[in-house]
A = this chain, B = another copy of it.
Amino acid sequence: MAEAVPPGGTVGILGGGQLGRMLAIAAAQLGLRAHVYAPEDAPPAADVARFTRGDWEDEASLAAFARAVDVVTYEFENVPASVVDAVEPFAPVRPGRRALAAAQDRVDEKTFLNGIGVETAPFAPVNDAEGLAAALARIGAPAILKTRRLGYDGKGQARIMGPEDAPAALAAMAGAPAVLEGFVPFAREISVIAARGADGAVAAFDPGENVHEGGILRCTSVPAASAPAVQQAAGEIAGRILAALDYVGVIGVEFFETAEGRLLVNEIAPRVHNTGHWTIEATATDQFRQHIKAICLWPLGDPSRHADAVMENLIGDEAGAWRRLSAEPGAALHLYGKAEARPGRKMGHVTRLSRA
């Protein structure tokens, strides 16, 4: 097995957004250095780390970056395979290629999950109008047409309530390969943030219960209202996914829970996850520190929770309420250092804590 990156070592982070910023902070909390690579001029993560501005196509810059660090990770799942190719000769990439491949294509993702016995919504790949008609005939409406790749926060998605919605939905894909997913009537959405070490050890945080609005996460509450057996099953499914991918690092697994307590995986994200931000205040090893520990081959930390928590995203101009939130009893305010509060942009979050 590879050697641990000891205190004083350097963690390379691909991507400079808020997840990269919080990963860099976690590295510093553990006595490690962070080095961020991103194409933007002054991304949020650059405030708290060494920073290289470089394009994803710039193989020489990527190689120089990789030579300057001890391990490379990423804050977004759409890292191109060519970037991994450029980096991997000089530093290990964790989580690795299998996790990225499984998460970058919705058809591959669901095929992988079903292959290890994990239930998902019914789905069918769609490339054209005939394919969509056939898929709709098999899966039925309501359903959601999504691009196979590069979707996030509800982008690249179109709802189909009946056959009459099919042409507009297909047009919304703009020619990109797509997948039709059957609509799952769910009682709630939950997610599990779990980590796996290179030694195979797995540590799952308690499931959070999520509310989305317009495709964007609104809030996550722990504990979830799910029955204890359902919560345990969610953690076990996350563990099965991690093992099947020979995964090293933190993963986010989003579930639909039906009224009967059945769990279907909606999607997996091979990275720290917005629905795990509550762990910063409510656990001893939050998801960011846990991810750094895992990719540096340190023993995983204890994921147990010492408080109840509700995390709420601050989207667009909601972060303008920082004065009120600064003083709110029990509230931990986080802002990401983004200059411009565009609509739909995640500007920060607030975690409201109470004794468990």
B333 close to A30 (CB less than 8 A): yes
Name which of A338, A339, A355 has the most chain B CB atoms within 10 A of its CB: A355
Is there a chain B Cβ closer than 8 Å to A356's Cβ?
Answer: yes
Known: A48-B25, A281-B281, A284-B281. A33 touches B337 (CB 8 A): yes
B307 close to A7 (CB less than 8 A): no
A355 close to B353 (CB less than 8 A): no
Q: Could you say which of A124-132, A135-143, A319-327 contacts chain B? A: A319-327
Smallest CB separation, A17 vs chain B (Å) = 13
Tally A residues with Cβ within 8 Å of B. 56
Residues from chain B with a CB closer than 8 A to the CB of A301 are: 326-327, 331-333
Residues from chain B with a CB closer than 8 A to the CB of A330 are: 284, 302, 304, 306
Residues from chain B with a CB closer than 8 A to the CB of A300 are: 326-327
**Which of B28, B299, B339, B353 makes the CB contact (< 8 A) with A284?**
B353
What's the Cα separation between A281 and B301 when bound, in Å? 14
Known: A48-B24, A48-B48, A306-B307. A322 touches B7 (CB 8 A): yes
A355 close to B322 (CB less than 8 A): no
Q: Kindly report which residue of chain B lies nearest to residue A337, judged by CB atoms.
A: B31
Smallest CB separation, A90 vs chain B (Å) = 22
What's the Cα separation between A331 and B304 when bound, in Å? 10
**Which of B323, B337, B354 makes the CB contact (< 8 A) with A306?**
B354
Residues from chain B with a CB closer than 8 A to the CB of A8 are: 337, 339
B21 close to A351 (CB less than 8 A): no
What's the Cα separation between A334 and B8 when bound, in Å? 13
Contact with B along A287-309 (1 / 0, CB 8 A): 00100010000111110101100
B322 close to A302 (CB less than 8 A): no
Is there a chain B Cβ closer than 8 Å to A348's Cβ?
Answer: yes
Smallest CB separation, A179 vs chain B (Å) = 37
Is there a chain B Cβ closer than 8 Å to A285's Cβ?
Answer: yes
Residues from chain B with a CB closer than 8 A to the CB of A24 are: 48
Q: What would be 30 A-B contacts, judged by CB atoms less than 8 Å apart?
A: A6-B322, A7-B322, A8-B339, A25-B28, A25-B48, A28-B48, A29-B335, A31-B319, A31-B322, A31-B334, A31-B338, A31-B348, A32-B337, A284-B330, A284-B331, A284-B332, A284-B352, A298-B323, A299-B323, A299-B326, A299-B327, A300-B327, A301-B326, A302-B328, A302-B330, A304-B329, A304-B330, A306-B306, A306-B354, A306-B355
- A-B residue pairs, 10 tightest by C-beta: A31-B335, A299-B327, A284-B332, A306-B307, A302-B329, A298-B326, A299-B326, A48-B48, A28-B48, A306-B353
